[in-house]
Each structure stands twice: as structure tokens, then as C-alpha cells.
Amino acid sequence: MTKGVWYRSSAGVGIPAYEDRGELAIEQGTIKFAGKKQSVSGRIRSVGRQQMGMNRWVHVRYENDGKTRDSYFMDSGLLGWAGILGGNKRLAEKLEASSPPAADL
């Protein structure tokens, strides 16, 4: 479980940079984000990075109820600086390690 994660449902730049904050669980090819306002979950389809402003958010494409959806996550530690200082890279690596090989999609 990763605590202190910012969440966005779409790419873009805004203030604040995130829509919600909460915890992200990564298990056996699935994500579960539990925020203060909303929750998202599903089977990971792909993991990448997306530049938004001065930050590279972790982009997760996942499947939920037969629909493909996008989510963006960032390590929110140190008021977001943790993401810039390697937290987002580590988060992306955890997600990539849990995602299924491309042949399984």
C-alpha cells in the first residue's frame, strides 16, 4: 500500500494539481485507490508517465466493468516534491512490476 498519493482522472494542468488524495494499493495486476472523495479500482492494462506542468505523473490505464479508463497518480510526500525526487519513478516501477505482460492484454 502506498500512502500519500495524489490522483487525477484526466491529463491537464490545474490548481490544485490533484482531484483527490489517498492511498493506492497495487496487487496482482490490479489497482485500488481510496481517496477522501472517490475510489477507483480495476485491472492494470498499461503504465506510463505523463508530463503535466513541471511534474511527470504516473499514467495508469486500467479496466473496470469492461471499460478502459485512465488515472494519474503522484507521490504527494513533501508537498509533492517527493514525486520529483524519485517517488514517482518508484511508484511507476511498482505498478509496472504488477502489470501483466503485453501478451496477456
Give per-residue pLDDT as tens, 5-17. Answer: 999 999 888 888 8
Q: What is the residue-averaged pLDDT of the chain?
A: 89
- Report the first-to-last Cα separation within the chain, whole angstroms: 24
pLDDT over 80 at 102, yes or no: no
Give residue-wise pLDDT tens across range 47-83: 999 998 888 999 999 999 999 999 999 999 888 778 8
* pLDDT at 15 (0 to 100): 82
Whether the predicted model's global pTM rises above the 0.85 cut: yes
Please report, as a single letter, which amino acid is at residue 76.
S
70, exposed or middle or buried, with CB in 10 Å at 0-12, 13-18, 19+?
middle
* pLDDT at 51 (0 to 100): 92
